[in-house]
Amino acid sequence: MSEKEEQDLPMNDGPAKPAMREALVAAAFELFLERGFEQTTVDDIVSLAGVGRRSFFRYFPAKEDVVFPDHERSLAEMTEFLESGSGEEDPVRHACDAARLVLRMYAEQPSFSVQRYRLTRKVPGLRAYELSVVWRYEHTLAAYLRGRFAARPDGPLRADVIAAAVVAAHNHALRTWLRSGGESDWVAEVDAAMAFVTGTWSDRPSEAAGEGESDEVVVLVASRRAPLWRMVQGIESALGGDTRQA
């Protein structure tokens, strides 16, 4: 066994493992920014980090995974949070609060998150990988909401639509923050985005009203055959929202 291989063998479960993982991420991004993602190989990364190839693949299945090192942990935290509910809370609000955990993960490392955003915009393969990660978050939210809406005739449809809305609102807040270079108030951005979702979809107006600017009661008269999007548009119009924008 070579000296390099001996260095790569796991010694214990102490702090060395996270340190090595962080070193690999740091080395990878240094090279991505210097040479470009496509021009950087795994061998280049491990050489700069001073470890062997086996160390890289112990933490990351592929080169793309080193760009998104925290999503597995974040997805696990979201799943645990959704399952921690009592079953009495507003499911839409609970799903929104779960999405906040993801944005908080980005906000914990603003410089890294902004670098990743800029890199992802330049590499189509990373954009596709990112979309697959987003789908996993949406799938997790939809599974939770399907369980909460199981007694409703429109439960599966409602769950899928609300999950998509939560993810879209979260991503809007996240992109706004990232485009500012991590300088804007991410808490205010996500609060506004999630308030829009709960205000639109929550069955508990008394809870949703506390997030908005008004606790007005709006009564909408519509045909039973009217599509849901038209009813939502009517409510927005009554509240003074601009429904002409997509």
Helix 91-107 crosses helix 186-201 at what angle (to 10 degrees)? Answer: 160
Q: Are 191 and 211 in contact (CB under 8 A)?
A: yes
- pLDDT at position 45, please? 93
Residues 135 and 75 sit within 8 Å (Cβ to Cβ): no
Q: Which pair of structure tokens corresponds to residue 115?
A: 């670098």
> Which residues in the chain come in under a pLDDT of 50?
1-16, 208-215, 229, 241-246
Alpha carbons 165 and 163: distance in angstroms, whole number? 5
Would you state the pLDDT for residue 141?
Answer: 97
Predicted TM-score (pTM) of the model is 0.72
* 240 CA to centre of own chain: 30
Confidence at residue 84, expressed as pLDDT on a 0 to 100 scale: 92
Residue 227: the pLDDT is 58
